[in-house]
Amino acid sequence: MTDTEPNPETDGGVDADAGVDEAADVEQVTSVSIADPELSDDAVRRVQAVLEDGRLADGPEVRAFEEEFAAYCGTDDAVATSNGTTALHAALEAIGLEEGDAVITSPFSFVASANAIRLAGGKPVFADVDPETYTLDPADVERVLAEREDIVGIVPVHLYGLAADMPALCEIADEHDLFVVEDACQAHGATVDGTRVGGFGDAACFSFYPTKNMTTGEGGMIVTDRDDVAERAASYVNHGRDVSGTGGYDHVDLGHNFRMTSIAAAIGRVQLEQLSAFNRARRQTADFYDDRLADLPLETPTEPTGYRHVYHQYTVRTEDRDALEATLAERDVGTGVYYDTPIHHQPAYETISTAAARLPAAERAADEVLSLPVHPNLSERDSRTVVEAVRDHFTTQ
Ligand SMILES: Cc1ncc(COP(=O)(O)O)c(C=O)c1O
């Protein structure tokens, strides 16, 4: 698959080489938000066109967005949904998850990753994450597989914009005859060895929530190379309607209304055109931070060889997390803790069989991670403000 990303050196984002100390103008207090979705005039025009056309729910705009998103991911098919959670739920139904099926997933994610497994009738089983990448640790997945015989699939999460170790996880899945549904809700455009996420599993799911690398307001997408999965997912999101026939009211299976609106699709098509530039800007800000925070007592994000991180979040880690968060709040720099409670410790998971498991890497990460602003609308001054505030926290204590 060709990587159509434009040249990061020549376009957009902050200048990674710009010096922090050039920033005399930072003295003026600025507030920097953790997320700032950008909707272009083109998106407004395309939404207007949909409103005038009148086909607001489903329809040609949604079909076009599906085709374009599948092409971007290098997959044969895509099915648009109302959000990322419904994408995961429908994908798992389409894969054929049955009541009580056990599925390995990450405890260090947004709760939707595991909720979708439960909503589709399955049982989430947590394996620990790698302490540097925060994504499923293949060795711990092997440990779980050695302990139990009821696992039917894996839902790896590409957290913060970094793909999970898909080569290793797909190999494990092959060996044990497990399905793989990628939770790519935070990683539009991330790659491993040149392959975009979405191209590894039996299916993959994306979210277009406003803070994500691209948005439709609310929205989601399933991508897959499997015709059977695409067909069942398209049916499931539309009340189990027969998608092969006349488009009439033949409902061959139980399903939901998880459809995307045409308004969301119109926004998504424009956002997809901008995604490469958005990701490039995120990467340039990440470079800028990497260079200027490297000497501080915190860990900056890892980008393993062969991986292309798209920095949905730029997440640092320090034992001093709560104090750093407070300092940045005082300086009007928005931050986020994603996530301070691992899923297996959420009250809603008390009854899940692995809720009491010890998953030390996930538990430590939950106490130490802090995400800094990295959205594509950050100005160079914003990025310098963030760096100065973080540096001041560690150097003036
Ligand atoms: C990892 C992950 N999975 C699933 C979801 C669910 O997506 P949505 O909020 O669009 O339902 C999200 C959204 O935050 C997410 O970050």
pLDDT in tens, 355-366: 777 899 999 999
pLDDT band of residue 58 (cuts 50, 70, 90) is: confident
- What backbone phi and psi angles, to 5 degrees, belong to 81? -135, 175
Average confidence (pLDDT) over 176-203: 98
Distance of CA 98 to the CA centre of its chain: 25
Ligand 1 pocket check for 157: Cβ under 6 Å: yes
- Topology of domain 41-269, per CATH? Aspartate Aminotransferase; domain 2 (3.40.640)
Q: Tell me the CA distances in angstroms from 18 to 7, 284, 375, one per residue in order.
A: 18, 11, 18
pLDDT band of residue 4 (cuts 50, 70, 90) is: very low
Distance 113 CA to ligand 1 centre (A): 7
Question: Can you give the pTM of this predicted structure?
Answer: 0.93
Ligand 1 pocket check for 279: Cβ under 6 Å: no
Write the residue with the smallest CA distance to atom 8 of ligand 1: 84
Residues belonging to the chain: 397
- Higher pLDDT among residues 30 and 325, named by residue: 325
Ligand 1 pocket check for 339: Cβ under 6 Å: no
Q: pLDDT tens-digit profile of 273-314?
A: 999 999 999 999 999 999 999 999 999 999 999 999 999 999
Ligand 1 pocket check for 209: Cβ under 6 Å: yes
β-strand pairing of 151-155 with 179-183: parallel
Distance 28 CA to ligand 1 centre (A): 36
Q: Which atom of ligand 1 is nearest to 109's Cα?
A: 1
229, two tokens: 């999965």
Q: What is the 3-state secondary structure (H, E, C) of 243-294?
A: CCCCCCCCECCCCCECCCEHHHHHHHHHHHHHHHHHHHHHHHHHHHHHHHHC
Q: Which atom of ligand 1 is nearest to 219's Cα?
A: 10
372, 268, 309, 315: CA torsion to nearest 10: 20
Distance 219 CA to ligand 1 centre (A): 10
pLDDT band of residue 396 (cuts 50, 70, 90) is: confident
Helices (H), 107-236: 112-119, 138-147, 166-176, 227-236
Angle at CA of residue 202, ends 366 and 210, nearest 5°? 50
Task: Quickly count: other Cβ atoms within 10 Å of residue 240's Cβ.
Answer: 17
pLDDT of residue 26: 42
Ligand 1 pocket check for 113: Cβ under 6 Å: yes
Q: pLDDT tens-digit profile of 209-224?
A: 999 999 999 999 999 9
User: 60-73 vs 262-293: helix axis angle to the nearest 10?
Assistant: 30
376 closest CA partner among 324, 314, 292, 293: 314
Ligand 1 pocket check for 220: Cβ under 6 Å: yes
Q: Which amino acid is at 225?
A: D
pLDDT of residue 249: 82
Ligand 1 pocket check for 102: Cβ under 6 Å: no
**Quick check: 376 pLDDT over 80?**
yes
Q: Which atom of ligand 1 is nearest to 338's Cα?
A: 16
Ligand 1 pocket check for 342: Cβ under 6 Å: no
Q: pLDDT tens-digit profile of 6-36?
A: 333 333 344 444 433 334 444 445 699 999 8
Distance 185 CA to ligand 1 centre (A): 5
Query: What's the CA gap between 189 and 162, in Å, rounded?
Result: 10
Q: Decide: 76 and 229 in contact? Cβ < 8 Å.
A: no
Q: Which atom of ligand 1 is nearest to 83's Cα?
A: 10
The domain ranges of the chain are 20-37+276-395, 41-269
- What share of the chain has pLDDT > 90, as a percent? 85
Sign of the dihedral defined by the CA atoms of residues 43, 49, 51, 54, in that order: negative
Ligand 1 pocket check for 106: Cβ under 6 Å: no
Domain 20-37+276-395 grouped into CATH 3.40.50.9100: no
349, two tokens: 């998971």
**Quick check: 3 pLDDT over 70?**
no
Distance 108 CA to ligand 1 centre (A): 13
Ligand 1 pocket check for 90: Cβ under 6 Å: no
Angle at CA of residue 56, ends 55 and 62, nearest 5°? 90
Ligand 1 pocket check for 109: Cβ under 6 Å: yes
DSSP string computed for 2-70 = ---PPPTTTSSS--TT--GGG-GGGGS---B-S------HHHHHHHHHHHHH---BSSHHHHHHHHHHH
